[in-house]
Structure 1
Amino acid sequence: MEFMPITESIFLLGESREHPMHVGGLQLFSIPEGAGPDFLNGIHQGMLEHTSVKRLFRRRPQRPLPALGNWAWAEDDQLDLEYHVRLSALPRPGRVRELLALASRLHGTLLDRHRPLWEIHLIEGLTGGRFAIYSKLHHALADGVTAIRQMRNTLSEDPHERGRPPMWAPAGEPSAGKPSADPIAVAKMAAGSLGELARTTPNAMRVANKALREHTATMPWQAPKSILNVGIGGARRFAAQSWSVQRIRAVGKAAHMSVNDVVLAMCAGALRTYLSELRALPAEPLIAMVPISMRTPNFAATGAVGGNAVGTGLCDLATDEPDPEKRLRRIHTSMRQGKRLAAELSPLQFLMFSGLVIAPLGLAMIPGVPERTRPPFNLIISNVPGPRSTQYFNGARLDGIYPMSLLLDGQALNITLTSYADNVEFGVLGWRTLPSLQRILLHLDSELENLEHITR
């Protein structure tokens, strides 16, 4: 048994049928030349032969008495791989449309807490000699950075390499020893965590009060009410598309901005147009919560197992500004102020401050509250780095990685993107009743063209 820190257990505490707390991804592959019709079935059978499973993928949550009401991790020594790793087929005609519909349904269902919190679905029947893999891991188990890292362990730059192990197979994983199940030790860890929380919260509040007094960084409760901030159900709809990273970098270079500033400006312009079409654009600017990785550069070498190391920043998206150039500059300024705020706190203090940012979402679980109060922010926009070169999975070329994050209560839209080779891959996840979700992709493309025009 291993005590679960608050940065992980918070995702179990906040989960319900309407609000699954897992992150996922949809990978699109081209079948290697000369492969037969049973290629994916062979891959599936080969994956199931890897019965040795690393600790991260054996973890399941439990709530032991000595943990003082806190969650802890237990390890499943009888994991059923056939349950966790499944082979599915798309209905005809097997277009991307059917693939996205299947991924939307899979992403809207809860993971079984009596088992380790992950699933992998191999999906055949896609037109054009392609197949897909949809995977999901509970956010208590891993954040987006960890999920991408686990996926990358299965890939290779060599199109001729075969026999790559699946993501759960140990590959030189550092041994940390078996976690202690001593009840006294567990109780001490739980008490220590509560004491650490008590010590760091005042420091986080001090910096928050300073930011409010100086009117610099964007803070919670500045976001306007919008159709993106209502009570939501469990059904999901997903849309995805890729854009050339060279186009985005060219805009950033010309404007002396970062790639992240440019993609945030793309999202801001797309949301402004989308909401204007629906006659639902607030007069005040939308506020995005932007996750910030708190991992140290040597994280992968420490032997750490999964976990979350993510803080939160808030960005003024300037959706009240019709001029794309002015909107880009306001976004750049807002992000710079948020980074300055983060720099004034230690990593742990910043994580606790981030908890204060998202804490108001707990009120959204009360019926009617999302519709009657200002949200702490309007949506989450997340950027997770991915592989920089073309990758292969047992000879199959990886054509795209489309991230699928989670929707918090009172948050009907999430935009997550990841870099891959020469592209930036956007995944747009929405509550199923949000109208015309696919149009956000069209507006993202139009906004990139607008940004290119003003920076020529």
Structure 2
Amino acid sequence: MNAATRRARMSGVDTAWLRMERPTNPMMITGVLVLKARLDPARLKRLLRVRLLAFERFRQRPVGDAGDYWWEDDPDFDLERHVHRVALPRPGGKPELQDLVSDLASTPLDAGRPMWQLHLVEGYRRTRSALVLRVHHCYADGAALMQVLLALAAAGPKAPTRGQASAEPPGWLPWLGELTRASTGLFFELLQHPGKLIGYAQAGAAAMEESVRLLAMAPEPRTRLRGKLGLSKRVAWCEPLPLDAVKAVGRALECTLNDVLLAAAAGALRAYLVAHHDRVQGLEIRVVVPVNLRAAQAAEPLGNEFGLVFLTLPVGVADPVQRVRAVHAHMQALRHSSQPLFTLGLLDVAGQSPRLLQEQLVQLLGSHATAVMTNVPGPRRRLRLAGVEIEQPMFWVPQAGDIALGASILSYAGQVQFGLMADAGTVRDPERIAAYFAGEIGRLQEAAAWTGSG
């Protein structure tokens, strides 16, 4: 390593996401921003130099060294290698954009460079532009990237000033020192406050309970939503839906906004299976839902600080209102669960363990879920990027292990966006599921109106 090259040790969680990379499931977060007008490429690059590159991580690449992983400055960093201009084939509409995003989502990032790329799509719907962003998950989670988007937006918060990278720690000694300090501190804390022992014991019991619960989960039922993965992805999204209308359904049914959105997603998956003449009676599937655990004033703006919960979706329930009630019950059961903290800790340990052990863990967790489903509240106001209004944002997190399907729900400026990313050989037509989601919201609106009038 060049003496002038700065290094910082990668966290266990970030290492875990880096090592989850597979040809069949690249560990990229893929985002699409549909813009209301044409975007000037020169102005975009100026913005990226000032605001995006203020996050020093986007100038760094992950490197492995004798089992340890580090963030290392790219000595040959060049923004031009990361920003590309592409034109859609005619007629340049939504199907052509979805095809392009599908191709990019199937293409791994270059591990020899900082692992992110931005494609400026010109001529979308003739007078508009779109941006396709791909970032490896080891760089940041969805909540962190939302803050990056706000930093890029014209009225967003300022990006952090680049600081000095931490000095290179000598091997495993810092980890041992931190563990020793933490253990010593805990010992004296318990001497001074013995009552806290009960709390720690309860936390340990909760962690044990979660580990037993995860191990005891039955494998997922066999459906066409699961299968052997290939190398190609397909993405699709529906047109934005009015957020106030969805909130009104929740009020009428005395449930939360999340209950309504997740029930609509379950209904869309049900409709897709029924359209293929599959048996759905009594069917329940699990989805992995990321839960943001980042502190409001987190010292590190990037990285991964989220846990996971396994949520049961009642796909077998035909009545849309009863499906909302069932989702609500499942959500309530998870409300005080320690699953998010437990899985975050599990990922941290996995990232510091031998790679084989991590792969077995990911395989185990993946066998207990059919899909990854994110539900993120986005900005309430419309944002502008390099002077152009963002009309519709969408993003998808990767699907780890053998999971073939990812669904994304994102609110933005009074609207709800729903999209899917799927293994192309398993779910060949995700656009049908996206269309069914919009239809399920319509059914719930009708049911809520009927409930209110009754």
Structure 1 length-normalised TM: 0.82
Relative to structure 1, is the Cα distance of residues 9 and 102 closer, same or farther in structure 2, using a 3 angstrom cutoff?
Answer: same
The partner residue of 2:9 within 3, 23, 34 is 3
Relative to structure 1, is the Cα distance of residues 153 and 49 closer, same or farther in structure 2, using a 3 angstrom cutoff?
Answer: closer
1:31 aligns with 2:37: yes
Relative to structure 1, is the Cα distance of residues 292 and 192 closer, same or farther in structure 2, using a 3 angstrom cutoff?
Answer: farther
1:36 aligns with: none
1:250 aligns with: 248
* CA RMSD across the alignment: 3.5
Question: 1:149 offset after TM fit, Å?
Answer: 1.3
1:341 aligns with: 337
Relative to structure 1, is the Cα distance of residues 92 and 175 closer, same or farther in structure 2, using a 3 angstrom cutoff?
Answer: closer
Asked whether the equivalents of residues 232 and 409 of structure 1 are also in contact (C-alpha less than 8 Å), the reply is no
**Residues of 1 paired with 2:346 and 2:180: CA distance?**
16
1:307 aligns with 2:303: yes
The partner residue of 1:231 within 222, 228, 233 is 228
Alignment of 1:251-270 (within 5 A): 251-270=249-268
The partner residue of 2:384 within 380, 384, 392 is 392
Secondary structure of residue in 1 paired with 2:337: helix
Question: 1:409 offset after TM fit, Å?
Answer: 2.6
1:130 aligns with: 128
Question: 1:235 offset after TM fit, Å?
Answer: 0.7
Question: 1:106 offset after TM fit, Å?
Answer: 0.8
Asked whether the equivalents of residues 20 and 234 of structure 1 are also in contact (C-alpha less than 8 Å), the reply is no
**Residues of 1 paired with 2:419 and 2:439: CA distance?**
17
Question: 1:125 offset after TM fit, Å?
Answer: 1.8
**Residues of 1 paired with 2:182 and 2:325: CA distance?**
36
Relative to structure 1, is the Cα distance of residues 75 and 147 closer, same or farther in structure 2, using a 3 angstrom cutoff?
Answer: same
Asked whether the equivalents of residues 12 and 349 of structure 2 are also in contact (C-alpha less than 8 Å), the reply is no
1:401 aligns with 2:397: no
Asked whether the equivalents of residues 23 and 231 of structure 2 are also in contact (C-alpha less than 8 Å), the reply is yes
Letter in 1 for 2:37: I
Question: 1:408 offset after TM fit, Å?
Answer: 2.2
Relative to structure 1, is the Cα distance of residues 189 and 310 closer, same or farther in structure 2, using a 3 angstrom cutoff?
Answer: same
Question: 1:261 offset after TM fit, Å?
Answer: 1.1
**Residues of 1 paired with 2:95 and 2:124: CA distance?**
10
The partner residue of 1:180 within 154, 167, 189 is 167
Once the two structures are overlaid, the 10-residue window that deviates more, 400-409 or 142-151, is 400-409
Asked whether the equivalents of residues 16 and 358 of structure 2 are also in contact (C-alpha less than 8 Å), the reply is no
Letter in 1 for 2:9: F
Relative to structure 1, is the Cα distance of residues 400 and 26 closer, same or farther in structure 2, using a 3 angstrom cutoff?
Answer: same
**Residues of 2 paired with 1:256 and 1:63: CA distance?**
51
Alignment of 1:46-125 (within 5 A): 46-47=46-47, 50=50, 53-65=54-66, 69-125=67-123
Question: 1:396 offset after TM fit, Å?
Answer: 1.4
Instruction: State, as a whole percentage, how many aligned pairs show the same letter.
Output: 26
**Residues of 2 paired with 1:235 and 1:354: CA distance?**
27
Asked whether the equivalents of residues 287 and 377 of structure 1 are also in contact (C-alpha less than 8 Å), the reply is yes
Relative to structure 1, is the Cα distance of residues 365 and 81 closer, same or farther in structure 2, using a 3 angstrom cutoff?
Answer: same
**Residues of 2 paired with 1:238 and 1:376: CA distance?**
23
Asked whether the equivalents of residues 312 and 354 of structure 1 are also in contact (C-alpha less than 8 Å), the reply is no
1:22 aligns with 2:28: yes
Secondary structure of residue in 2 paired with 1:43: helix
Letter in 1 for 2:69: W
Question: 1:279 offset after TM fit, Å?
Answer: 2.7
1:449 aligns with: 442
Deviations along 1:337-360, one digit per CA (max 9) or x if unpaired, are 112112xx7x75452257899x99
The partner residue of 1:424 within 401, 416, 424 is 416
Letter in 2 for 1:285: E
Secondary structure of residue in 1 paired with 2:336: helix
Letter in 1 for 2:33: Q
The partner residue of 1:13 within 3, 19, 29 is 19
Asked whether the equivalents of residues 26 and 135 of structure 1 are also in contact (C-alpha less than 8 Å), the reply is yes
Question: 1:270 offset after TM fit, Å?
Answer: 0.6
Letter in 2 for 1:402: M
Relative to structure 1, is the Cα distance of residues 313 and 100 closer, same or farther in structure 2, using a 3 angstrom cutoff?
Answer: same
Asked whether the equivalents of residues 224 and 286 of structure 1 are also in contact (C-alpha less than 8 Å), the reply is yes
Question: 1:26 offset after TM fit, Å?
Answer: 0.4
Relative to structure 1, is the Cα distance of residues 52 and 409 closer, same or farther in structure 2, using a 3 angstrom cutoff?
Answer: closer
Letter in 1 for 2:253: A
Asked whether the equivalents of residues 70 and 190 of structure 1 are also in contact (C-alpha less than 8 Å), the reply is no
Question: 1:209 offset after TM fit, Å?
Answer: 5.4
1:43 aligns with: 43
**Residues of 2 paired with 1:277 and 1:305: CA distance?**
44
Relative to structure 1, is the Cα distance of residues 93 and 205 closer, same or farther in structure 2, using a 3 angstrom cutoff?
Answer: farther
**Residues of 2 paired with 1:193 and 1:278: CA distance?**
55
**Residues of 2 paired with 1:94 and 1:206: CA distance?**
56
Question: 1:204 offset after TM fit, Å?
Answer: 7.8
1:272 aligns with: 270
Asked whether the equivalents of residues 218 and 334 of structure 1 are also in contact (C-alpha less than 8 Å), the reply is no
**Residues of 2 paired with 1:27 and 1:72: CA distance?**
31
1:292 aligns with: 291
**Residues of 1 paired with 2:149 and 2:218: CA distance?**
36
Question: 1:440 offset after TM fit, Å?
Answer: 0.5
Asked whether the equivalents of residues 101 and 132 of structure 2 are also in contact (C-alpha less than 8 Å), the reply is yes
The partner residue of 2:368 within 365, 376, 390 is 376
Question: 1:392 offset after TM fit, Å?
Answer: 1.4
Give ranges in structure 2 of 5+ residues lacking alignment. Answer: 1-6, 187-200, 351-355, 450-454
Secondary structure of residue in 2 paired with 1:178: coil
Question: 1:431 offset after TM fit, Å?
Answer: 0.9
Relative to structure 1, is the Cα distance of residues 361 and 226 closer, same or farther in structure 2, using a 3 angstrom cutoff?
Answer: farther
1:146 aligns with: 144
Secondary structure of residue in 2 paired with 1:153: helix
1:35 aligns with: none
**Residues of 1 paired with 2:13 and 2:182: CA distance?**
11
**Residues of 1 paired with 2:202 and 2:137: CA distance?**
26
Secondary structure of residue in 1 paired with 2:172: helix
